[in-house]
Structure 1
Amino acid sequence: MAEQLPSGAGDVAKRHPEIWKAYADLGKACAEAGPLDKSSSRLVKLALAIGAGSEGAVHSHVRRALDESIAPEAIKQVALLSIPTLGFPQAVAALTWIEDITDPK
Structure 2
Amino acid sequence: MDDYFDNADAIEKNLRYFTERHGEIYRAYEEYGRLVHEQGGPLSPKTCWLIKVALSTASLHVYALKTHILKALKSGCSREEIEHSILLVAPSAGFPKTMTGLLVFRETMEEFGQAEE
Is TM-score (shorter-chain normalized) higher than 0.5?
A: yes
Shift of 1:56: 0.4
1:23 is aligned to 2:33:
no
Match of 1:54 in 2: 61
Structure 1 stretches (4+) deviating beyond 4 angstroms? none
Structure 2 CA distance for partners of 1:70 and 1:6, relative to 1, 3 Å: farther
Question: What is the deviation of 1:96?
Answer: 0.5
Q: Does 1:10 align with 2:2?
A: no
For 1:73 and 1:8, locate their aligned partners in 2 and report how far apart those are by CA, in whole Å.
33
- Identical positions, percent: 27
> Normalising by structure 1, what TM-score?
0.86
Could you tell me which residue of structure 2 aligns to residue 97 of structure 1?
A: 104
Is residue 78 of structure 1 aligned with residue 110 of structure 2?
no
Kindly indicate whether structure 1 or structure 2 has the higher relative contact order, using CA contacts under 8 Å at least 6 residues apart: 2
Kept in 1: contact 2:58–2:98 (CA 8 A): no
Please, which moves more after superposition, 9-18 or 49-58?
A: 9-18
Question: For the residues of structure 2 that align with 1:47 and 1:8, how far apart are their CA atoms?
Answer: 25
Q: Deviations over 1:50-94 (max 9, x none)?
A: 121100000000111122221111111111111111111111011
* Change in CA separation of 1:7 and 1:65 when aligned onto 2, cut-off 3 Å: farther
SS in structure 1 of the partner of residue 42 of structure 2? coil
Alignment of 1:66 onto 2:73: yes
Cα pair distance change 1:6/1:72, threshold 3 Å? farther
**Given the two structures, how large is their TM-score scaled by the length of structure 2?**
0.78
Give the total of aligned pairs.
101
* Unaligned stretches of 5+ residues in structure 1: none
Moved more, 11-20 or 56-65: 11-20
